[in-house]
Chains A and B, each alone.
Chain A
């Protein structure tokens, strides 16, 4: 079992839909990252959170430390949101990556 699990693996949505990507982890963490990777390869850090909730534009990330679970929400999704979203846990000085969720938003 991976230490960081994401679901779903693939997600297709229509433009405008509300999207949720989930991340569960089994290790002790100091923080959790949500990363976005576009087809070209570059990785952009969207959020780093250790408790509660953060919001940036149409993106919202939440974390429940007791349940070892985090979610990334995208409101009013748009085709330009199509990318791979990766959850990564900071644990003991390392970054443990989930396998990613490939999101396709259709116009």
Chain B
């Protein structure tokens, strides 16, 4: 079982919908990450939170809005997405100051 839990596993949404992806870890990690992965490509970093504060935003469009309500939870709010945003969204966590160590199973997102 993965120690980073992501929900939902699959999500299909229209371009006008608002939805959220959720990530949870209880390892006491203070850094959490969102990655986007297109088919047959390596993961691409989107956001990094360190001690519940956004530390890195890799020029991600504003239709993706991250939130870290506490040290165990990381959300990614989605609004007005485009078909090209269809991808696997991976959450990861690590101790602060080191790269990701644990990955979730991902949410497979399809935009109609």
Contacts and interface: CB of A to CB of B under 8 A. Distances in A.
Q: Do A and B bind each other?
A: yes
Interface of A: 35, 40-45, 48, 86, 88, 90, 93-95, 97-100
Nearest to B107: A41
Nearest to A84: B40
A45 B101 contact: yes
Contact of A41 (B40, B42, B97, B108): B108
Interface of B: 2, 37, 40-43, 45, 88, 90, 92, 97-106, 108
Closest 3 pairs between A and B when the two form their complex, measured CB to CB: A42-B105, A97-B42, A43-B103
A93 B98 contact: yes
Given A99-B41, A99-B42, A100-B42, A42 B104 contact: yes
Contact of B99 (A86, A93, A98): A93
A62 to B, nearest CB: 21
Contacts, number: 45
A88 B88 CA distance: 18
B105 A45 contact: no
A98 B41 CA distance: 9
A100 B41 CA distance: 8
A40 B103 CA distance: 13
Which among B45, B92, B103, B108 has the highest number of chain A CB atoms within 10 Å?
A: B103
Contacts of B37: 41
Contacts of B40: 100
A54 B108 CA distance: 32
Given A97-B43, A99-B42, A40 B99 contact: no
Nearest to B100: A95
Contact of A45 (B43, B88, B103): B103
24 contacts: A40-B106, A41-B90, A41-B105, A41-B106, A41-B108, A42-B2, A42-B103, A43-B43, A43-B92, A43-B103, A44-B2, A44-B103, A45-B101, A45-B102, A45-B103, A86-B42, A88-B99, A90-B98, A90-B99, A93-B98, A95-B99, A95-B100, A97-B42, A99-B42
